[in-house]
Structure 1
Amino acid sequence: MNYIEFDSYVRKWIFTHASMPVSEADLVQIKPFTQARSAQLWCEHVSNQSSDADHFEKGDWAFDKKIWSDSIDWQKAWDSDEPELPAELLADVKWEDNTTIFFCYEKYNIIETKWGVFKRNWKNFLFFDDGPLLLGRKQKQTIWFQSNGTFQVATRP
């Protein structure tokens, strides 16, 4: 079994909170992985050494500061009443809405969904902004959301 039941997901409330409701159609497409599957994906795509983005080490592809774009603000868009992702992010990442993505809070907490679902509900996902990474399946681009309200984009090896 790769997924846990959504109702059992520890952070379920960020998607069901009355102030930022997610549609039923989107909720069924938000699939938290088990800790074991999360760890496997993290090791395959992010790091064998570090358990979260704040602790990348030499040898982790993401450790190389030169591969990351300049920091771009996402906090202003998150704080606004407008639902759209920052235009700069949409300009950098041109994935199809049906692209499978992995939203990685840390090694043991990864959610699978679609890019279109993320775009519609990105404020929910970023309620916890402690350095999550967003990876697209079969995509090399990675987005790193920093807790200081900025994001950076890189191309994974």
Structure 2
Amino acid sequence: MYQSIETFSKRWIFKREDPKVDAEDFAQIHLLTESAAEQIWRDYISVDQLHPDHFTIQDWPKKEAAQVIEGKLSWEKAWDSSESNLPDGFLAHFETWGDDTKVYFCCHSGLVFEVTWGVFKRTWKAFLFLDNGPVLVGRKKKQAAQFHSSGWANLLYRVF
């Protein structure tokens, strides 16, 4: 189910001094094998598209019903700042998630990370070096977010 994060070509994002990912948190960031990533992608993101760039209105992240009213948030200012916390709008959207909630940071059908919400909240800046449309979803949760390289994110609800 997991492969060594050392096989990930961009593992440097988790080993930088800024943003710093503590060794304890790093040990809890799991890179899924390609087959496990594909299964999570199919189950949580899309059965038809392999990458967020190719989402259509048929994919739930693009559906109007999935969009949170006033759910477009800037993440880039907080990412560039010395503040380590996720912006308040994200925390409010995911307020029902416990720190032990299993979450998937889904970059594309072959690249998915599994981590707990607590670890993601502490390490989000490292993950957002991968900002080309990844979707964050929680296991058995309806809240989600899609991050864009423009520095904005869409808060979403999973709908089918």
TM norm structure 2: 0.92
Shift of 1:64: 1.0
Q: Is 1:106 equivalent to 2:105 in the alignment?
A: no
Q: Percent identity?
A: 37
Q: Provide the secondary structure at the position in 2 that maps to 1:96.
A: coil
Structure 1 residue runs of 4 or more that deviate by more than 2 Å after TM superposition = 18-21
Paired letter, 1:127: F
Task: Please give the per-residue CA displacement for 1:51-71, whole angstroms capped at 9, x wherever unaligned.
Answer: 111211242222213421231
Structure with the largest fraction of strand: 2
Task: Please give the per-residue CA displacement for 1:41-83, whole angstroms capped at 9, x wherever unaligned.
Answer: 1011111111111211242222213421231111110011110
1:33 maps to which residue? Answer: 32
Q: Which moved more, 1:73-82 or 1:58-67?
A: 58-67
Paired letter, 2:146: W
1:152 maps to which residue? Answer: 154
Summarize the alignment of residues 33-72 of structure 1 with structure 2, pairs less than 5 Å apart: 33-69=32-68, 70-72=71-73
Instruction: Tell me the distance in 2 between the aligned counterparts of 1:139 and 1:109.
Output: 20
2:127 maps to which residue? Answer: 125
Q: Provide the secondary structure at the position in 1 that maps to 2:25.
A: helix
TM norm structure 1: 0.94
Shift of 1:6: 1.9
Q: Provide the secondary structure at the position in 2 that maps to 1:97.
A: coil
Unaligned runs of 5+ residues in structure 1 are none
The RMSD of aligned alpha carbons is 1.2
Paired letter, 2:78: A
Unaligned runs of 5+ residues in structure 2 are none
